[in-house]
Amino acid sequence: KFGESVSYFTFRAYFDIGLFKYLFFTVIMCFYAVIICANLLLIVVICVNRSLHEPMYLFLCSLFVNELYGSTTMLPFLLVQILSDIHTVSASLCFLQIYCVFTYGTIEIINLSIMSYDRYLAICYPLQYNTRMTSKKVAMLIALTWLFPFIEVAVKISLSSSLQLCGNIINKVYCDNYSIVKLACSVATMNNIYGLTYTCLAIFGPLILILYTYMRILKVCYSGSKQTRQKAVSTCTPHLASLINFFFGSFFEIVQSRFDMSSVPMMLRIILSLYFLTCQPIFNPLMFGLQMSKIRNLCKSLVFGQM
């Protein structure tokens, strides 16, 4: 049960933006429109072109679907909150937000780690790639990417929602699990234990896989031919850029949640939160769409009606 006096939460961050709310609303609306159009375009291009039904592009399609999921579950709510005079949310909707944010972030990092594994096989074992990365294995990896986070985060939310809370003020623009745990009337031991387990499985696990695969790729590039190095650079550059972008956004969000940010201007904290929610959904379709010539050419054909 929720604490008896906590049936809703109040977002204190919105009270400090004043007339800037119209600027924030316009910017977020434009971002959301770009996110929807860019990600939908690339999903359609990959789905309708059989030449793109390869592991690398199927993993990309999963990534773009996740960008739509993450942005659609959060940005419309932010748009309503920015223009509203009452910045509250019911307890049930707050935990639904937490669920959406955590599943989005977990799917993102697992998807990126599987993409690094796919690039590792393609570069380090090119002759064995088709036997190692079969269609059955691709389907299994994509299913794991989506099912594991939804189950794991559900356990986290069930633990947080059972806490007895002694406050209802959240110093952010949306609900965050750690912000709820900090409102608990007593030490949330089980939440802390599960939080550590969740971090190891959902963050450090994929991160170790990413580091391992790129170490192997660098080793092959160092000892391989010029053609091998060129192939590695062309296929890994957008993926590395996406990884760096995601970790920057996640780092800013973790710092905001875990440390006292009262000395940081609220406007900057709002911008950093928006960066976390929009950095990947905008960055990924532009980066992969522009860098991968096959996708770029098919997008031009689809847009200009030459297909």
Taking only the tens place, the pLDDT of each residue in 65-108 is 999 999 999 999 989 988 888 888 999 999 999 999 999 999 99
Model pLDDT for residues 104-128, shown as the tens digit of each residue: 999 999 999 999 999 999 998 989 9
CA dist., res. 177 & res. 283, Å (int): 26
- Whole-number pLDDT of residue 16: 65
Looking at 2-6, 62-66, 167-171, 206-210, which range is the least confident one? 2-6
| Domain map (residue ranges) of the chain | 8-303
- CA 262 to chain CA mean position, Å: 26
Q: Judge whether 145 and 114 are in contact, CB under 8 Å.
A: yes
| pLDDT surpassing 80 at residue 236 | yes
Cα distance from N-terminal residue to C-terminal residue, the chain: 56
| Whether residue 272 has pLDDT greater than 90 | no
Categorize the per-residue pLDDT at 251 as very low, low, confident or very high, splitting at 50, 70 and 90. confident
Q: Take residue 68 and report the two structure tokens written for it.
A: 């739509």
pLDDT at residue 5, rounded to an integer:
54
* pLDDT, tens digit, 9 for 90 and up, residues 218-228: 888 888 777 77
Q: Which helix (H) or strand (E) holds 139?
A: helix 135-161
Asked if 178 and 102 touch (Cβ cutoff 8 Å), the reply is no
Token pair listed for 300:
């031009």
Q: What pLDDT shows up at residue 3?
A: 44
pTM, two decimals, is 0.91
Residues in the chain: 307
**pLDDT score for 134:** 94
Nearby residues of 180 by Cβ (< 8 Å), 6 or more positions away: 94, 95, 98, 160, 163, 165, 170
CATH architecture of 8-303: Up-down Bundle (1.20)
Compute and round to an integer the Cα radius of gyration of the chain: 21
Q: Please give the average per-residue pLDDT across 7-12, as a whole number.
A: 86
CA–CA distance, 72 with 85 (Å, rounded to integer): 22
